[in-house]
Amino acid sequence: MVDLCYILPMRQPIAIIAAMPEECDALLALFPEHAVKRHFNTLLHLARHGDQEIVLARSGVGKANAACTLALVLSDFDVGCVVNIGSAGGLQPDQRVLDLVVPREVVYTDVDLTSFGLAPGQMHGEPARFYPDPRLLAIFDRLVADGAVPHTCHHGLLGSADAHIAQPKQIAQIRQKFRNEVLCVEMEGGAIAQVCTRFGVPFLILRALSDVPAQGDGALAFQIFLQRAATTSARICLELVKRLEQVETL
């Protein structure tokens, strides 16, 4: 059997996309020696870890911002893969703040073209769900197995929408529409997944839970734990970069 951890070509730059200042700053703190490039009013931070080049970008919040920023990065750099990090809100009763979610599937929770025969969350001309690269997932799973991820990690379906999900009515609608499969909700992962799928770029999404809105005041918890969630996801992302640096071919 071929070891999936050694078939990814990783001398190409790794693109890391975060939405919010707190999330991007937590990343930059781990790569203090970096250059800055401004392109179309977007700041791109160029860093290295050993021989591995890294492009860090803050997209801004929401699907349009994420798609614009990632398209810009992909046009400027021949990246080997994209990692989207940051925070999310948990929708399952067994989750806790600062748990990790590394999804196996991604869906838009605010897209509804079911009257045209499409699946819930499916945009016209696009797949019903988007799938992170299995090789990157295998590398992350190896990190977990090796004890490099000291947090509970959930895998499954990530929901993406241009809305902060915190109200019981919002949660109930998502649960009903997607049969309670959605593990967490956020505002950029769907666009990251769609752009990467469109252009054939491997991607992985890594989110730390800043709140679990199904268990109480999600908006308040988000404000309290955002920084800690950002730091958590950034540190785990660094462990992933270290492992990818060792990969000869992606």
Just list the catalytic residues. 23, 211
238 backbone dihedrals φ, ψ, rounded to 5°: -60, -40
The one-letter amino acid code at 177 reads K
Q: Are 106 and 137 in contact (CB under 8 A)?
A: no
Tokens of 92: 């399952």
Q: Which two tokens stand for residue 19?
A: 């939405």
Local structure of residue 110 (DSSP, 8 states): S
Bridge partners, 193 (sequence order): none
Tokens representing residue 227 in the block: 């920084």
Question: How far, in Å, CA of 60 to CA of 66, rounded?
Answer: 7
Number of other CB atoms surrounding residue 61 within 10 Å: 16
Contact 193, 111 (CB under 8 A): no
Q: How far apart are CA 167 and CA 163, in angstroms?
A: 11
Q: What element of type H or E holds 24?
A: helix 21-30
